[in-house]
Amino acid sequence: MNKIVLTAVVLGLVATLAIASYLILYSDEADFKTTDITIINSHGENITVHVELALDSTQHRKGLSGRDYLCNDWGMLFIFRENVSYGFWMKDTSIPLSIAFIAENGTIIDIRDMEPYSTDSHKPNGEYRYALEVNRGLFHDNDIVIGDMVMIPREYSR
């Protein structure tokens, strides 16, 4: 086999392995449904956040772990079947995030900042039905505080 053909074969194999690795690493991201939610801040302003939806325990465990980047106006909304009091951590997450814990009626009951790769558990004092993770600073920059309302799309509110 001549050198040009051998080089082409090797480059083809490398490209195939790179594509396969990408698909394996990021294939479960495609399993998250997406939607837009609106947060009404204390000034009455509507802030739209595009969210991936974590709807089951597998997606809850995966969350945003393994990601290197999250667009500014994107986040992940964790939806639970009943009120819960679970803690959230950042063990495998490299993005600095903030989390809002949201009651069944859509009221934000707590907001916490979380450090990348931390195993500290973050949870509010009471139970919640939803949790919204976003880039750290999104809540602050949009004057979103405890007591503000998150409009959960009807098909995901329980």
Measured CA to CA, the distance from residue 143 to residue 43 in angstroms comes to 8
> Running DSSP on this structure, what letter comes out for residue 46?
E
Task: Assess contact for 57 and 82: CB atoms under 8 A.
Answer: no
Q: Is the full-model pTM beyond 0.85?
A: no
**Both tokens assigned to 10:** 């090797």
pLDDT in tens, the chain (158 residues): 677 756 655 455 544 554 544 444 444 444 899 999 999 999 999 999 999 999 999 999 999 999 999 999 999 999 999 999 999 999 999 999 999 999 999 999 999 999 999 999 999 999 999 999 999 999 999 999 999 999 998 888 76
Predicted pLDDT at 2: 74
Neighbouring C-beta atoms of residue 14, cutoff 10 Å: 10
